[in-house]
Amino acid sequence: MEQLIQQLVNGISLGSIYALIALGYTMVYGIVKLINFAHGDVFMVGAFIGFYSITVLHLGFFPALLISMVACAIFGVLIERIAYKPLRNATRIAALITAIGVSLFIEYGTIYIRGAQPEAYPSNIVPLKSLEIFGVKISGQSILILAVSLCLMIILQFIVHKTKIGKAMRAVSHDQDAAKLMGINVNNTISATFAIGSALAGAAGVVFGMYYTKIEPLMGIIPGLKAFVAAVLGGIGIIPGAMAGGLLLGVIEALVSAAGGSLFRDAVAFVVLILILIFRPAGLFGKNVREKV
């Protein structure tokens, strides 16, 4: 029983990281119907910005987290303006191929600039004591990760539902042409969506680096794909679905590892994707209606 609770805590901590990345996928898809496969690499850039902020600038965890979020927000807007905006009216396959190209450019551009060698986040960035609940020892690191993720998700919900830019994002998501007629600046709204999603990916990168220690230029591939699975699991384009999908996927992985299938934990995410696409293609939070072609 104690081991089960421990694995659930580990799964929720991992799932909260997936959820932060998945939110970027689902927000962008909800606005422009684009799967931004470069999003996992923004996550990687965020991890390195946080690492250099801590090791070179000698900043603490929270200042490094904020710097990474701001830098990734700017980076996300640049990606949108340079790579995706010219293709706004192009076919979806053209935008998808461009997203894959941007992803490869970021990965191998990073390798060209700094080399392929991995780095290790310093241990004990935030000195936290472990807690013991019902006989289960929960690390302070896991609690911090969960707290940071929940705070960012709550802030996102506030932005989307209570602010002017959030209302504009929902309007553009519902109908771009009608939003234009109502005086909403669609281009700025799309850029804001990329900025917010990329900021969350940057935060996830710093949290991931603190949790797993090792970071490297190709680290965004697997977490990025798993976050995409989480977004599809919850219902692509649905913000609460991305949160729930990320947490659920993290728990599933942790339970598979606990059952002795640690070698298959990466494969499980894609098995979940296949099952969802077969039995509930709209996701857990989406309306399960198959579109007629």
Determine the pLDDT at residue 291: 37
Residues 237-279 have pLDDT tens digits of 888 899 999 999 999 998 888 887 777 888 888 998 999 989 8
Residue 172 to residues 5, 47, 115, Cα–Cα distance (Å): 42, 31, 40
pLDDT tier for residue 91 given thresholds of 50, 70 and 90: confident
Mean pLDDT of 126-131: 74
Using alpha carbons, select from 170, 159, 134, 160 the residue that is nearest to residue 4: 134
State the amino acid at position 240 in one-letter form: P
- The structure's pTM equals 0.91
pLDDT tens for residues 135-159?
677 777 888 888 999 999 999 999 9
Average pLDDT, whole number, for the chain?
A: 89
| Residue 13 and residue 178 in contact, taking contact as beta carbons nearer than 8 Å | no
Pairwise pLDDT comparison (40 vs 287), residue with the higher score: 40
C-alpha pair distances (Å), 3 with each of 10, 17, 105, 113: 10, 22, 42, 43
126 or 169, higher pLDDT: 169
List the single range of 16-25, 108-117, 141-150, 213-222 with lowest mean pLDDT.
Answer: 141-150
Confidence of residue 288 (pLDDT cuts 50, 70, 90): low
For the record, the structure tokens of 31 come out as 């606005």
Q: Are 76 and 197 in contact (CB under 8 A)?
A: yes
Instruction: Inform me whether the pLDDT recorded for 101 exceeds 80.
Output: yes
Domains along the chain with CATH numbers = 2-121+134-279 (1.10.3470)
Q: Among 124, 105, 1, which residue's Cα sits nearest to residue 44?
A: 105
Give the tens place of pLDDT for each residue, 160-214: 999 999 999 999 998 888 999 999 999 999 999 999 999 999 999 999 998 888 9
